[in-house]
Amino acid sequence: MDDKRTFLAIALAIAVLLAWTPLAEHMGWIQPQQRPAATQEATPAPAPAAQTAVAPASSLPVFTPSAGTDVKVETPLYSAVIYSGGGILRSFTLKHYDETIKADSPKVNLISPEASQTAPLGLTVNGQPSWSTGQWSFQGSDLNLKAGEQGSLTFTGIVDGVRVTRVISFNADNYLLSENILVGSADQAPRTVRLGFTVAATPFSNGKYDPTRLAWDANESFKEETSASTLAEKGIIEQGVFNWAGVMSNYFMNVTAPADPNNLTLKGRVQGDVWRLALERPDLLTPSNGGEVPVAVNWWFGPKDRTMLATAPDHLSQAVNFGMFSIIARPLLTILAFFHSFVGNWGIAILMLTFCIRVVFWPLSQKSFKSMEQMKKLQPMMKKLREKHKDDKEALNKEMMQLYKTYKVNPAGGCLPIVVQIPVFIGLYQALLNSIELRHASFIEYLPFTHITWLADLSAADPFYITPLLMGASMFLQQRLTPAAGDPTQQKVMMFMPVIFTVMFINFPAGLVIYWLCNNILSIGQQWWMLRKA
């Protein structure tokens, strides 16, 4: 009898326990148990970058996927559309930049319909595209930010068994997008996760001097690949320290910049007409107690505005690259901007800068002219020496050097100013070519006495080739005023220089041609003055 009572008591206890849990859940006395991992999701709240947020599994809300929808973000600078199914960009339209100089020109859209299909602002999880393989939800509404305001959007999802929360923040005063990502295991078991950040764009322009390229900062060193054929056939894969990487032109860029730049893998390729790039960070380990690992990344979709980029993180200012002569280009651009602040016309500012450069090189030009005049006086003696030693080059060179020494003439003196000006020319070329301020900046908008558009865009070529032809004519006149070289071969080469330069400059940006034309005119004036003085 005692055994029967014991068995009965045990059975009643088990029945009470089985009935208690659903009753208590129904009455709200205890929290419900976790559902299967495929339907769980992390709390959409960002954690500090230096800490791991550990949340008990019982505190996580139920994840319910929702149908993808377009979310709009409006700021004074841009209008963006983001697809909630992964938080990828549909479009990113810049409100202050037109595609062309025509009155009815559309605004620049950095994310074309073709590029939007390849998930710019995308996140890959263990190599899987989160936007197409994961389930996502979004709670919130469109953002409409006024000047000085900030706002954020939160997207939650489960991708390849990984819980992902994306909190993307927007600032109305610049083009920087800051993102905090929380990564956890959907089944609460430790899991290694490899994240990738993707950007994409179709060519921003078709200009010869404004190529689209993949570019990246490799340990504070600017690198780029401009060959579409190379990227289409082979692509690029590199590992190392990358502060940022993306697709850019001279004036615009779509880039990603992970907060931790170490041990990243860069992958780039051109597919069809779309330039694509991704940065993958090394594996991270999720906690086993349902906690989350924070990951931070920044994005820049916008113009290469030097003022805004100067205060941006992750060395983004280095995206405005002036090449090996940047030490010259940057000061020249600063002076150019200073002149523009007074005159309000970039063409006139270029003329003022050219005048200042000419003043700096005035002493060198004088020495060059004097050297050429001295060489001209030595021509009769040099001619006799050539006739005397026409069959003995060694003796001729020895006699020539003695002649230069006797009359204290430097045969290279006439070339020195040209050699010194080459770095300045290249530096200014890079400054004018990579300055967003000169894009669509006008000098003389219409041909005189007409309504025909002329120099309305200093970043584009002269549509009627007037300035390149004038530049070639000025070079020819400058040669006529310059003492002729003694070497007949050198004389013939110099005769073709105006033609060579005219052909070379025919499609150069008008701003650069104006600089060279103005420089030639000032040189002609200086030579004419020195000839009269002589």
C-alpha angle 104/106/109, rounded to 5°? 170
Q: Could you please report the per-residue DSSP string of 24-73?
A: HHHHTSSPPPP--GGGB---S----TTS-B---GGGPPBP------EEEE
Give rounded-to-5 percent helix, strand, coil for the chain.
40, 25, 35
Do 458 and 402 share a structural domain?
yes
In terms of pTM, does the model score above 0.85?
Answer: no
Q: Is residue 62 very low, low, confident or very high in pLDDT (cuts 50, 70, 90)?
A: low
Over 70: is that where the pLDDT of 486 sits?
A: no
- Over range 489-497, report the average pLDDT: 73
Do 396 and 289 share a structural domain?
no
Decide if 156 is inside a domain.
yes
pLDDT of residue 488: 64
Do 362 and 293 share a structural domain?
no
Do 338 and 253 share a structural domain?
no
Decide if 438 is inside a domain.
yes
Which of 291, 307, 323 corresponds to the end of one domain? 307
Do 259 and 167 share a structural domain?
yes
pLDDT of residue 74: 98
pLDDT tens digits for range 123-136: 999 999 999 988 99
Over 60: is that where the pLDDT of 283 sits?
A: yes
pLDDT of residue 63: 62
CATH number (domain holding residue 92) = 2.70.98.90
Q: Is residue 250 very low, low, confident or very high in pLDDT (cuts 50, 70, 90)?
A: very high
Residues 6+ apart with CB under 8 A from 504: none
Do 176 and 285 share a structural domain?
yes
CA atoms within 13 A on the CB side of 152: 14
Question: 424-442 as b/e, with b when 16 or more CB fall inside 10 Å?
Answer: bbbbbbbbbbbbbbbbbbb
Give the Cα separation of 157 and 87 in Å (integer). 10
Q: Number of structural domains, the chain? A: 2
